[in-house]
Amino acid sequence: MLVVTLCALTAADAYAQAIPDSVRQNAMLLRDKALQDSTAYDIVESLTMEVGPRLAGSAGDAATVRWAIELLTSLGFEHVRGEEVEVPHWDRGALSVSITGPFLQSLVATSLGGSSGTPEEGIEASVLRVESLAELREKSLGEVAGHIVYIDHVMERRKTGGGYSASSRIRSCGHVVAAERGALATVIRSAGTSTNRIPHTGSMLRNSVPGEIPGVALSNADADLLTYQARSGEPVTIRLHSTARNMPKALSANVIGEIPGVGDKADEIVLLGAHLDSWDLGTGAIDDGAGIAIIAAAAKLILDSGQPPRRTIRVVLYANEEFGLSGAKQYASKHADKIEKHVVGMEADFGAGAVWQFSSRVAESSLDIVDELHGLLEPMSIERGNNEAYGGADLSPLRKAGMPILGMTQDGTNYFDYHHTAADTLDKIDRDDLQQNVAAYVTAAYVAANIDRDFGWLPKDTKPSGTCAAEDD
Amino acid sequence: MLVVTLCALTAADAYAQAIPDSVRQNAMLLRDKALQDSTAYDIVESLTMEVGPRLAGSAGDAATVRWAIELLTSLGFEHVRGEEVEVPHWDRGALSVSITGPFLQSLVATSLGGSSGTPEEGIEASVLRVESLAELREKSLGEVAGHIVYIDHVMERRKTGGGYSASSRIRSCGHVVAAERGALATVIRSAGTSTNRIPHTGSMLRNSVPGEIPGVALSNADADLLTYQARSGEPVTIRLHSTARNMPKALSANVIGEIPGVGDKADEIVLLGAHLDSWDLGTGAIDDGAGIAIIAAAAKLILDSGQPPRRTIRVVLYANEEFGLSGAKQYASKHADKIEKHVVGMEADFGAGAVWQFSSRVAESSLDIVDELHGLLEPMSIERGNNEAYGGADLSPLRKAGMPILGMTQDGTNYFDYHHTAADTLDKIDRDDLQQNVAAYVTAAYVAANIDRDFGWLPKDTKPSGTCAAEDD
Interface test with A, best of B105, B196, B421, B429 (most A CBs within 10 A): B196
What is the reported pLDDT for A464? 79
Say how many CA atoms lie within 13 Å of A54 toward its Cβ.
32
Beta-carbon contacts of residue A30 (< 8 Å; ≥ 6 apart): A2, A301, A302, A305, A439, A442, A443, A446
Query: How far apart are alpha carbons B92 and B204 in whole angstroms?
Result: 13
Among residues B291, B295, B293, B254, the alpha carbon closest in space to that of B271 is found at B295
Residues B198, A197: C-beta atoms closer than 8 Å: yes
Taking the C-alpha atoms of residue A391 and residue A402, their distance in angstroms, rounded to an integer, is 12
B205-218 CB burial, b ≥16 within 10 A, e <16: bbeebeeebbbbbb
Pairs of CB atoms within 8 A across A/B:
80
> Is A424 buried (19+), middle (13-18) or exposed (0-12) by CB count in 10 A?
buried
Give catalytic residues of A, as residue numbers. 321
* Of B342, B432, B427, B430, nearest in space to B391 by CA: B342
Summarize pLDDT for A12-63 with one digit per residue, the tens. 444 568 999 999 999 999 999 999 999 999 999 999 999 999 999 999 999 9
Closest CA to A273 of A403, A109, A155: A403
Helix B431-450 and helix B39-46: axis angle, to 10°? 110
User: Does ipTM exceed 0.85?
Assistant: yes
H helices present in A208-321, as ranges: 220-230, 290-304
Looking at residue B238, its pLDDT comes to: 98
Q: CA separation (Å) from B420 to B157, B164, B198?
A: 16, 12, 10
Helices and strands, counts by H and E, chain B: 13, 16
List B321, B364, B372, B471, catalytic entry: B321
User: What local confidence, expressed as pLDDT, does residue B14 receive?
Assistant: 46
Q: What is the pLDDT of residue A16?
A: 66
B200, burial (CB in 10 Å: exposed 0-12, middle 13-18, buried 19+)? buried
Q: What are the φ/ψ torsions at residue B223 (nearest 5 degrees)?
A: -60, -40
Supply the pLDDT for residue B6. 42
List beta partners, residue B237. Answer: B101, B126
At A92-143, the pLDDT tens digits run 999 999 999 999 999 999 999 999 999 999 999 999 999 999 999 999 999 9
DSSP classification of residue A472: G
For chain A positions 27-66, those within 8 Å of chain B (CB to CB) are 45, 49-53
pLDDT, mean over chain A: 94
SS3 B138: coil
Interface check A16 vs B, CB under 8 A: no
Report in angstroms the alpha-carbon separations of A254 from A299, B336, B446.
Answer: 17, 74, 71
Angle between helices B367-377 and B431-450 (to 10 degrees): 150
Nearest to A242 by CA among A79, A126, A399, A113: A113
Instruction: Report the gap between the CA of A154 and the closest CA in chain B (Å).
Output: 13
- List residues bridging with B113 in a β-sheet: B203
Which distant-in-sequence residues (6+ apart) come within 8 Å of A112 by Cβ? A171, A175, A188, A201, A202, A203, A204, A215, A216, A217
Q: What is the pLDDT of residue A318?
A: 98
Closest among A150, A110, A105 to A126, alpha carbons compared: A150
A381: left (phi over 0), alpha (psi -120 to 50) or beta: left
Angstrom distance (rounded) from CA A354 to CA A410: 5
Please list the helix, strand and coil fractions of chain A in percent, rounded to the nearest 5, in that order.
35, 20, 40
What is the DSSP code string of B205-274?
P-TT-SS---EEEE-HHHHHHHHHHHTTSS--EEEEEE--EEEEEEEEEEEEEEE---STTTT-EEEEEE
Burial of B124 (0-12, 13-18, 19+ CB in 10 A): middle
Neighboring chain A residues of B196 at a CB cutoff of 8 Å: 194, 196, 198, 423
Q: What is the pTM of this model?
A: 0.94
pLDDT tens sequence for chain B (473 residues): 444 444 444 444 445 689 999 999 999 999 999 999 999 999 999 999 999 999 999 999 999 999 999 999 999 999 999 999 999 999 999 999 999 999 999 999 999 999 999 999 999 999 999 999 999 999 999 999 999 999 999 999 999 999 999 999 999 999 999 999 999 999 999 999 999 999 999 999 875 455 689 999 999 999 999 999 999 889 999 999 999 999 999 999 999 999 999 999 999 999 999 999 999 999 999 999 999 999 999 999 999 999 999 999 999 999 999 999 999 999 999 999 999 999 999 999 999 999 999 999 999 999 999 999 999 999 999 999 999 999 999 999 999 999 999 999 999 999 999 999 999 999 999 999 999 999 999 999 999 999 999 999 999 998 877 789 998 88
Give the burial class of B41: count Cβ atoms within 10 A of its Cβ; 0-12 exposed, 13-18 middle, 19 or more buried.
buried
Q: What residues are paired with A355 via a beta bridge?
A: A410
* Interatomic CA distance for residues A247 and B84, integer angstroms: 54
Contact status of A108 with chain B (Cβ, < 8 Å):
yes
Q: Are strands B105-107 and B109-111 parallel, antiparallel or unpaired?
A: unpaired
| Amino acid symbol at A334 | K
Interface contact B220, partner A, CB < 8 A: yes
B103 to A427: CB separation less than 8 angstroms, yes or no: no
Residue ranges of alpha helices (H) inside A132-273 are 133-137, 141-144, 164-180, 220-230
Question: Which neighbouring-strand residues pair with B259?
Answer: B313
Please state, in angstroms and rounded to a whole number, the distance separating the CA atoms of residues A388 and A407.
9
Are the CB atoms for B413 and B157 separated by under 8 Å?
A: yes
Query: What is the model's pLDDT at position B463?
Result: 84
DSSP code for B335? T
**With a CB-CB cutoff of 8 Å, which residues 195-214 of chain A face chain B?**
195-198
* Strand arrangement of the beta sheet that strand B312-318 belongs to: B78-91, B245-259, B312-318, B269-275, B342-347, B405-410, B355-361, B383-384
- Which has more pLDDT, B13 or A332? A332
Indicate the residue of A45, A224, A422 with minimum beta-carbon distance to B197: A422
- Kindly list the residues from chain B whose CB atom is less than 8 angstroms away from the CB atom of residue A282: 197
pLDDT at A331 over 50: yes
| A193 near B CB under 8 A | no
Residue A468, classified by CB atoms within 10 Å of its CB into exposed (0-12), middle (13-18) or buried (19+), is buried
pLDDT for the residue numbered B209: 53
Q: What is the pLDDT of residue A12?
A: 42
Quote the CA–CA distance of A214 and A281 in Å, as a whole number.
Answer: 18
List Cβ neighbours of A66 (8 Å cut-off, separation of 6 or more). Answer: none
Among A42, A67, A105, A231, the strongest candidate for a mutation testing the B interface, having the largest count of B CBs within 10 A, is A105
Q: Under a CB-based contact definition with an 8 Å cutoff, are residues A19 and A451 in contact?
A: yes
Tell me what pLDDT residue B13 has: 47
Banded pLDDT at A462 (limits 50, 70, 90): confident
Report the alpha-carbon distance of residue B191 to residue B420 in Å, rounded.
9
Instruction: Tell which residue, B57, B58, B4, B49, has the closest CA to residue B29.
Output: B4
Q: Work out the pLDDT band at A3, boundaries 50, 70, 90.
A: very low
- Of B33, B26, B21, the closest CA to residue B2 belongs to B26
Count the helices and strands in chain A (H runs, E runs): 13, 16
Q: A268-291, pLDDT tens digit by residue? A: 999 999 999 999 999 999 999 999
Q: Cβ of B105 under 8 Å from any chain A Cβ?
A: yes
Give CA–CA dist A63/A257, Å, rounded: 18
Mapping DSSP to helix (H, G, I), strand (E, B) and coil, where does residue A266 land?
coil
Q: How far is A197 from chain B (nearest CA, A)?
A: 5
Please give the helix or strand (H or E) that residue A24 lies within, else none: helix A21-34
Instruction: Flag whether pLDDT at A5 surpasses 50.
Output: no
Q: What is the 3-state secondary structure (H, E, C) of A49-78?
A: HHHCCCCCCCHHHHHHHHHHHHHHHHHCCE
Nearest Cα of chain B lies from the Cα of A50 at a distance, in angstroms, of 5
Rounded to an integer, what distance in angstroms lies between the CA atom of residue B312 and that of residue B343? Answer: 10
